[in-house]
Copies of this chain bind each other. A is one copy, B any other.
Amino acid sequence: MKNVHQPDWDRQSRTGFPEAIYCARKSPEQINIIIEDAVTRQRPLFLTALGVETYQGLDRDNSAQLDYDHVSATGIVGKTAPLGQSGVGIIAAGTSDIPVATEAQRTLAFCGYDSTMIHDVGVAGLWRLLERIEEIQQFRVIIALAGMEGALFSVLAGLVEAPVIAVPTSVGYGVSTGGRTALESALGSCSPGIMTVNIDNGFGAAAATIKILQSAHK
């Protein structure tokens, strides 16, 4: 097992958040070993950035263990807890943001938290956001996703009481290529209460959300 990633099975007991594996540069062989290790230890495991091609290259026995979602490129090993009512809203500006939004939603579900996703409410058509604003104002924590110029973050944070975790997405072209413009819009926003994670980091936004929800019980 030389040179194979050794999962940090102690993480949950230390930080309240279980081990997750970022699969982007891992081979099917490496992931096979990790899944087998999780199954043997009976530990739940969350896999991100697991592309369809890599997924299909896994051993049958291992892929059969996975609850796989190709939209978000995530896989779950093991049973997840029944979902409690958490009051988390996931607000995506456009359809292209749904893969990252789903990564966040699946991460929350893996840890036992439900969430509601609302999409196609970008500010180019403000009425769409305003039509649903009362529903949105009920959420306790909001994960907001937008690419292009990321104006949704500022508008949303100015309309709600909940903390807003901005996830800039790499959706766009020209100056917006790669998500930098959306990222800087979130960081430079004049609406107080916005916090930002890395571009396309739906997983990180969910992890932060969980820490916020858990801190309420301290």
Binding site for B on A (CB under 8 A): 3-6, 8, 10-11, 14-17, 20, 24-26, 30, 49, 71, 87, 93-96, 98, 102, 119-120, 122-128, 140-141, 148-151, 153-155, 157-165, 168, 170-201, 203-204, 207-208, 210-212, 214-216, 218
CB distance from A60 to the nearest CB of B (A): 24
**Cα separation A210 to B123 with both chains bound (whole Å):** 21
Question: Please, which residues of chain B bring their CB within 8 A of the CB of A119?
Answer: 3
Q: Which of A128, A165, A182, A197 has the most CB of B within 10 A?
A: A197
Q: Known contacts A123-B155, A211-B162, A216-B215; is A187 also within 8 Å of B196 by CB? A: yes
Chain B residues near A160 (CB, 8 Å)? 15
- How many copies of this chain? 8
Q: In the assembled complex, how far is the CB of residue A71 from the closest CB belonging to chain B, in whole angstroms?
A: 7
A124 touches B158 (CB 8 A): yes
Q: How far is the CA of A56 from the CA of B156 in the complex (A)?
A: 37
* CA distance in complex: A31, B105 (Å): 24
**A148 CB, nearest partner CB in chain B, Å:** 5
B161 touches A16 (CB 8 A): yes
Q: Are A192 and B8 in contact (CB under 8 A)?
A: no
B96 touches A189 (CB 8 A): no
Report the separation of the CA atoms of residues A198 and B187 in the bound assembly, to the nearest whole angstrom. Answer: 5
Contact check, A155 vs B158: say whether CB atoms are below 8 A apart: no
